[in-house]
Amino acid sequence: MLTRIDQVLTAAEITTLTALFDNVAPVDGKSTAQGLAATVKHNQQLPSEHPAVQDGVRLVLEALKRNALFHHSAFPRRAFPPMFSRYTPGMQYGEHVDNAILLTPQQMRTDVAVTLFLSDPASYDGGELMINTGNEERAVKLPAGSLVAYPPYFLHRVAPVTRGVRLAAITWVESLVRSPEQRQLLAQMDRAMGGIHVRHGESTELMALNNCYHTLMRMWAET
């Protein structure tokens, strides 16, 4: 239930977002952590109230909004304003799970966690996002502009950075479809329909599968 999406951001957008870290003084990342997570979080973040950071928030949200694969896998209803994190050598984020409910200013449920990588992975050592799926711990370190989406209840951590600087944008999504298994099934059906259409065009079978897809969406979606 890990979803990787590449090229979410353009090169110009990556440049704009990374420049924020040169122009805005960071704060202690613990300021936005709650509960047990606050005891294991050792990084820096950009202050959300800064006007330039607010522009960055809108940029990321617009990038997610225009990405079809993100919509067909996360089924976003609303998203938390992205937070911009910075890890320098020695910084890390210990094992934790994310809060089930966040305030946006309105309450929202966290169904999908999203890490959008902003640094070239060759520019830093360590800093892998380590996600424990229950069967294994997977290390995720993606090119700048790519994201990974995963269930927030998976235990996860950021490994210590040993060289360079790791920059990322973090957000959470409340999905129209609460169940991760149902989201995964719908995403698989959507990909299958796309493949069938490319190979065979319109057909009675494709229309029947499309009808099943939308019937399941009516059954499972919470609007």
Q: What is the pLDDT of residues 111-149, one digit of tens each?
A: 999 999 999 999 999 999 999 999 899 999 999 999 999
Q: Are residues 154 and 205 in the same domain?
A: no
In 45-200, which ranges are continuous DSSP H helix?
Answer: 51-66, 68-74, 180-200
More confident site: 12 or 135 = 12
Q: Are residues 92 and 199 in the same domain?
A: no
Q: Which residues contact 49 (CB under 8 A, 6 or more apart)?
A: none
Q: Are residues 136 and 71 in the same domain?
A: yes
| pLDDT tens by residue, 176-199 | 999 999 999 999 999 999 999 999
Q: Are residues 112 and 7 in the same domain?
A: yes
Q: Are residues 10 and 63 in the same domain?
A: yes
> Contact, 154 vs 12, CB < 8 A?
no
At 5 the three-state DSSP class reads strand
